[in-house]
């Protein structure tokens, strides 16, 4: 998409470095309903409302220095957790599993500030949290 046709600037967002850019694009589009507004071989810009997620391909020479587990292992020691509101955690759980990630079982859900909340991970082990209006 040409830059002049992009929607206005995002109010907030995050950048995630990806070993498999296409796989993460599919995951976040399928689970968090983010729309790809711009994409090339090195990055993708995804949006939902005022939130922007930029996925940036890790250069090959750096990606070759580590290996991701299959199935992915959660990076529980990360200082960042991405949070997405979804219409249904149950539906997102099924989509996450089909796209190489995972969302904890219903017995691991909790309530917080008017939301039902559950943690999960993307196909590369990055921790996410899903929130559904309670």
Q: What is the pTM for the complete model shown?
A: 0.87
Domain boundaries, the chain: 11-60+74-133
Convert 71-84 to b/e letters by CB count within 10 Å (16 or more is b).
ebebeeeeeeebeb
Q: Taken in order 42, 1, 5, 50, is the CA torsion positive or negative?
A: negative
Q: For domain 11-60+74-133, which CATH number applies: 3.10.20.30, 3.10.180.10, 3.40.50.150, 3.40.50.720? A: 3.10.180.10
Check residue 8 and give its pLDDT. Answer: 66
pLDDT digits (tens, 9 = 90+) for 74-117: 988 888 999 999 999 999 999 999 999 999 999 999 999 999 99
Residues 10-62 have pLDDT tens digits of 788 999 999 999 999 999 999 999 999 999 999 999 999 989 999 999 998 88
């Amino acid at each position: 998409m040409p830059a002049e046709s992009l929607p206005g600037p995002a109010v907030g967002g995050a950048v995630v470095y990806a070993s498999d850019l296409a796989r993460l694009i599919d995951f976040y589009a399928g689970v968090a309903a983010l729309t790809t507004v711009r994409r090339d071989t090195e990055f993708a810009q995804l949006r939902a409302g005022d939130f922007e997620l930029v996925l940036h391909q890790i250069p090959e020479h750096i990606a070759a220095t580590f290996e991701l587990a299959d199935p992915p292992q959660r990076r529980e020691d990360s200082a960042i957790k991405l949070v997405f509101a979804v219409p249904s955690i149950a539906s997102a759980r099924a989509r996450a599993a089909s796209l190489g990630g995972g969302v904890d079982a219903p017995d691991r859900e909790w309530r917080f500030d008017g939301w039902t909340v559950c943690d999960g991970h993307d196909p590369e082990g990055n921790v996410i949290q899903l929130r559904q209006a309670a």
